[in-house]
Structure formats: structure tokens, C-alpha cells
Amino acid sequence: AQTVTQSQPEMSVQEAETVTLSCTYDTSESDYYLFWYKQPPSRQMILVIRQEAYKQQNATENRFSVNFQKAAKSFSLKISDSQLGDAAMYFCAYRVGGGSQGNLIFGKGTKLSVKP
Amino acid sequence: DGGITQSPKYLFRKEGQNVTLSCEQNLNHDAMYWYRQDPGQGLRLIYYSQIVNDFQKGDIAEGYSVSREKKESFPLTVTSAQKNPTAFYLCASSPPWGVGQPQHFGDGTRLSIL
């Protein structure tokens, strides 16, 4: 069974600094997708970034980028120039590809605090 | 604007009572999902539906039931058999073109026991 592990329950970063959130996963599949979702205090789930496993190039979205290491099954999220609005729970998620099932498997989350 | 609407935002259940959480989407998505979120936990899948009139159990389906009579709607019933229903419930949907497409989420329903 696939699993997703986020080893950092809480992280803290100074405003304007850079922080990296860790995520590892376990799968025997070769075709899959990885996601980072942000959940602010409003409890909305907001997609931050997505990575296709067959793409070697790391995904980037403005201040957010990932370090995807397929062999190591690692998918970390880097947030540059941190802003107060980045404070939230961050969830790493995995989804197997190639079939009709598209269920997301989530890690337990990392709570990010941003200090002014 | 397209999106997913969950209602109510807060719901209270008495002992032995069934309650139904509503989820409606106007995104024309085929697939819909129900997740449960407990404090300190990630989201866990309760049920999902890929097409109308078909649905599958997720990891924690016991004590829950669903229906999918319309593409736009995927209500979740929390039955009296669910002994620990207090949680935050999120509904999601995703488009049919490729499993790599991200899921879109509603704003959630918080269910509590009276």
C-alpha cells in the first residue's frame, strides 16, 4: 500500500526567509503524481503545486518549488521569500496514475508558522 | 463562478441519529470524493464516485453511506453506526481528463456530537 510521510509536524520561518518542508512516500508504482496542498485557518484546501513522476524537471509556481527525488521517493517543498499569508498546514499527497482510480493519499501535515 | 458547495458549515448530531452532509459541484467533474479530517491527521478517504450511480468504499467507509444520483451531487450520510463522527468533512471533485488533474475541494462541514 502506498504511504505518505511528513516527518515535521511543525516548522517556523522568519518572514522573507526560505523554508523547506519534507515529504517521503512509498510506492511500487512508476506512474504517479504528487501534490502539495495548503490549508489555512479557514480550512480550505488549496493546491500549491503538482509534480508528474515521469517528469525529471522540478515543478515551480512563483515562490514555491519542489525538489523531486524519484529514486529516494522524496518530494520536498521549498517556499522562498516567506510571507505572513503562507502560514498554514501543508499536506503532501500522492495519487497513482494510469488507471481509473484517482484517490489522493495524504500525509499528516506540517504546520508552518511565519514570524514577522 | 464554478466550485464546490458544502452545507451546512456546522452540524450537530444526537445519539442514534443519522445526518446528511450535502456536496454540490458545478464544475462538470465526473469524480467526487469524501474525506474525513481529524486533528493532527491528514485527510482520509471515506467514499468516492467516478460516475453517476456508482461509488466505491475508501479506507474508512464503516458507518457512512453515500449516493450519486446526479453528476452534480454526492451527499454523505453519517449513520448511527459511526460511533466517533466528530470531525471535519471535506468533499472534493476532479475532472475526467487524466488522473493527474488536482482535486478541487469544498469549504468543509464540521460535525459535532450533542
**Nearest-10 Cα torsion for A19, A15, A108, A54:** -40
Q: Among all chains, which residue has been given the C-alpha cell 459511526?
A: B82
What DSSP character marks residue B52?
T
pLDDT, one tens digit per residue, over B10-65 is 999 888 899 999 999 999 998 999 999 998 788 999 999 988 999 999 999 999 99
In A, minimum Cα distance to B109 occurs at A43
In B, minimum Cα distance to A48 occurs at B102
User: A4: part of which helix (H) or strand (E)?
Assistant: strand A3-5
Average pLDDT over residues B76-84: 92
Sequence-ordered strand ranges (E) for chain A: 3-5, 10-14, 19-21, 24-26, 32-39, 46-52, 60-61, 64-69, 74-79, 88-96, 105-106, 110-115
Say yes or no: B62 contacts chain A, CB-CB below 8 A: no
Across the interface, whether the CB atoms of A108 and B108 are under 8 A apart is answered: no
Query: Does the structure show a pLDDT above 80 at A100?
Result: no
- Taking the CB of residue A13, how many other CB atoms lie within 10 A of it? 19
pLDDT at B41: 82
CA separation, residue A9 to residues A12, A48, A109, A112 (Å)? 11, 19, 6, 9
Query: Does the structure show a pLDDT above 60 at A25?
Result: yes
Question: Among A5, A3, A21, A4, which Cα is nearest to A82's?
Answer: A21
Q: Could you tell me the pLDDT band of residue B103, with boundaries at 50, 70 and 90?
A: confident
Residues on chain A bordering chain B, Cβ-to-Cβ distance under 8 angstroms: 4, 6, 9, 33, 35, 42-45, 47, 50, 52, 91, 95-104, 106-109
Q: Which residues in A lie closer than 8 A to residue B33 (C-beta atoms)? A: 103-104
Closest Cβ–Cβ partner in B40, B50, B108 for A108: B40
Across the interface, whether the CB atoms of A43 and B88 are under 8 A apart is answered: yes
Query: Does the structure show a pLDDT above 90 at A7?
Result: yes
- Please, are residues B107 and B3 in contact by the beta-carbon 8 Å criterion? no
What DSSP character marks residue B73?
B
Q: Among all chains, which residue has been given the C-alpha cell 491528514?
A: B42
pLDDT at A31: 84
Say yes or no: B31 contacts chain A, CB-CB below 8 A: yes
In A, minimum Cα distance to B4 occurs at A44
Q: Could you tell me the pLDDT band of residue A6, with boundaries at 50, 70 and 90?
A: very high
User: CB within 8 A of B14, min separation 6: which ones?
Assistant: B113, B114
Closest Cβ–Cβ partner in B31, B45, B108 for A43: B108
Nearest CA to CA, how far is B41 from chain A (Å)?
A: 5
- Please, are residues B55 and B49 in contact by the beta-carbon 8 Å criterion? yes
**Helices and strands in chain B: count of H runs, count of E runs:** 0, 11
